[in-house]
Structure 1
Amino acid sequence: MKETNGDQKGLNMYGSSAHNIYAQNNVGIESPAKLIEMLYEGVLRFNAQAKKAINDKNIEKKIYWTNRSIAIVVELVSVLDKSQGEVSDYLNGLYNYQIQLLTTASLRGDTTKLDEVSTVFKALLEAWRETT
């Protein structure tokens, strides 16, 4: 997918704010674009761990890993640049829905909800890599 003006807005939307947050925490990041990629990958990794914990009937780890995924998605919401219009509005709604799914997955031990979130984040990661 070629980068469009909207894709560039998406990069700018995340870029400086997310990078500043990590810079304040002394985490070395190559670029704001790389940071978003790492966050998407983190959700996928933590969801896989949460799914394993659910299958192993390990409640403590299930809660731990779903909470880690939720924390990343909350961070993604917090760095959205609301001035970017439709792109940020869409992502805000999408991310908030993913938080709902992750919460349900944790409360009910529902791996299908985790799979749904992972499918969305795999698509987001793929699209993100194509635009940066």
Structure 2
Amino acid sequence: MVNSPYQIYQQSSVQTANGGKLIIMLYEGAIRFTKLGIDAVHNRKYDAANTNFLKAQAIINELIASLNFNYPISNDLVKIYEYMLHCLIQANVKKNATIAEEVVAHLMDLLGTWKQVSNGTAGNHQAAVDSI
């Protein structure tokens, strides 16, 4: 199958990214798909809402799988991720954009934190990022 230059670039970006960058990419994807699901709910395109909410859930499951439980923060993150999964399921079942908007807010907050950690501006947490 022939890939477009953009697809080749995306694949290369993922394959060469460090742990922190991969986490950031996952957050950005989850935010994008959740927002697409919200827009689809508003436009009453429920099949598209379902598809996008499921994609966001899959990404959050990847975030859970990426946790390193040698760090105590992982126990807190898994609870947050599980809560977001619950909210996405409820938003999808009820076709309720408000519930999904809460997930976007949490993802945006966590993305900001990961960007700080990844850039080394959040203290000595760089070792935790590098171990992912």
Identify the TM-score tier after normalising by the shorter chain: 0.7 to 0.9
The count of corresponding residues between Structure 1 and Structure 2 is 107
With 64-73 and 27-36 compared, the bigger mean Cα shift is at: 27-36
How far, CA to CA, are the matches of 1:84 and 1:105 in structure 2? 31
Unaligned runs of 5+ in 2: 1-10, 119-132
> Which has a greater percent of helix?
1
Moved over 2 A (4+): none
Q: Which amino acid aligns with 1:112?
A: T
Alignment partner of 1:92 out of 78, 82, 88: 78
Q: Please list the CA deviations of residues 41-87 of structure 1 after superposition, one character each: whole Å capped at 9, or x if unmatched.
A: 011100110011101111110110000000000111111112212x0
Give TM-score, length-normalised by structure 2. 0.77
Give the drift of 1:131. 1.4
Whether the 8 Å CA contact 1:29–1:35 is kept in 2: the answer is: no
When the two chains are superposed, the root-mean-square deviation of aligned CA atoms in Å is 1.4
Q: Pairwise mapping of residues 95-106 of structure 1 onto structure 2 (< 5 A)? A: 95-106=81-92
- Separation in 2 of the partners of 1:113 and 1:72? 18
Q: Is the 8 A contact 1:50 1:63 kept in 2?
A: yes
Structure-2 residue corresponding to 1:81: 68
Partner of residue 53, structure 2: 66
CA displacement at 1:30 relative to structure 2:
2.2
Please list the CA deviations of residues 89-123 of structure 1 after superposition, one character each: whole Å capped at 9, or x if unmatched. 00000000000000000000111111100000100
The percent identity for this pair of structures is 27
TM-score, reference length from structure 1: 0.77
Larger radius of gyration: 2
